[in-house]
């Protein structure tokens, strides 16, 4: 029988670590509950010891059986037998926040990279927060201006870790006003969906379907039906004209079909605002 790839838990950053911890509890559940064996890769951060220890403490407190930090500070670390063995026996690998470019520079093409893709294909849960969320896609936003309208040249894109194809992910989305830069990104790559994830919010991807958990929302930008864009004529720094783009905003409990590019609304309770107004 052909193996099924494991779920992806893609977190928009600043996930709750003190209260109900909905996202991290769901991560542990998917990873095996009390038998969860989680490896925390700290490659993105400049403070690997502190960040790694924080996740060890919170994930252990929430019930994971084992939590091991894995500090990758140079490329040789990502081909060390110890690092590969940790991933081989893990039920979940979690990428912390920091700078997403550090993850791809340190891990890309290494034995650890190969082990992650092989194990994910066999069912390993992969998760990431903030920068660790951005690297999940095949093409990622490395940097870009926020709190602005879409404009040419305001986003810099690079290859990601390629765990999720056909999607560009942005994080801290509503909190940092990143709609303009996500629109700019999908204008450059209209065959990709744009996925903007708020803080303390996550997308759980299983196959071609994803569902939203947490306290915020996920904004999905679809430029496949783009009818007009002045990308070729607009000067750098000038606002772009974009017509025909679809925008879906999905809070917790909502699902989306990534293959068919449509929200899944069959099991969502209809809005009853009109009845309340007339009753």
Catalytic residue numbers read 130, 172, 199
Residue by residue, DSSP assigns 149-185 as: ---TT-EEEEE---SBTTEEEEESTTTTT-HHHHHHH
- In terms of Cβ atoms closer than 10 Å to its own Cβ (0-12, 13-18, 19+), residue 179 is buried
Tokens 């990431």 sit on residue: 128
Among 157, 159, 161, which residue's Cα sits nearest to residue 126?
A: 161
CB atoms inside a 10 Å sphere around CB 224: 13
CA-derived radius of gyration, the chain:
19
For residue 248, the cross-strand partners are 220
Query: Is residue 203 within 8 Å of 218, Cβ to Cβ?
Result: yes
Distance CA 182, CA 149 (A): 10
Using CA atoms of 262, 266, 269, 272 in order, give the dihedral in degrees to the nearest 10.
Answer: 70
Using CA atoms of 253, 30, 193, 222 in order, give the dihedral in degrees to the nearest 10.
Answer: -10
């Amino acid at each position: 029988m052909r193996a099924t790839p494991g779920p992806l838990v893609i977190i928009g950053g600043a996930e709750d670590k003190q209260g109900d911890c909905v996202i991290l509890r769901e991560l542990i559940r998917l990873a095996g509950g009390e038998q969860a064996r989680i490896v925390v890769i700290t490659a993105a951060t400049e403070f690997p010891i502190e960040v790694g220890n924080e996740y060890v403490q919170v994930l252990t407190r929430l019930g994971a059986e084992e939590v091991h930090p894995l500090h990758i500070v140079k490329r040789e670390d990502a081909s060390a037998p110890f690092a590969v063995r940790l991933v081989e026996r893990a039920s979940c690998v979690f990428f912390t926040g920091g700078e997403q470019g550090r993850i791809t520079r340190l891990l890309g093409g290494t034995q650890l990279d190969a082990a992650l893709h092989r194990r994910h294909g066999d069912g390993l849960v992969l998760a990431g927060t903030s920068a660790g969320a951005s690297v999940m896609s095949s093409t990622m936003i490395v940097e870009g201006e926020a709190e602005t309208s879409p404009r040419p040249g305001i986003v810099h894109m690079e290859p990601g870790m390629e765990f999720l194809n056909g999607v560009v992910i942005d994080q801290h989305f509503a909190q940092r006003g990143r709609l303009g830069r996500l629109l700019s990104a999908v204008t450059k790559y209209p065959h990709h969906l744009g996925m903007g994830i708020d803080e303390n919010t996550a997308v759980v991807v299983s196959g071609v379907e994803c569902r939203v958990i947490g306290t915020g929302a996920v904004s999905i930008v679809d430029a496949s039906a783009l009818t007009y864009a002045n990308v070729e004529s607009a000067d750098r720094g000038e606002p772009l004209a974009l017509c025909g783009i679809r925008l879906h905003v999905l809070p917790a409990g909502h699902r989306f079909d990534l293959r068919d590019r449509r929200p899944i609304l069959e099991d969502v309770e209809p809005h009853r605002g009109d009845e309340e107004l007339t009753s």
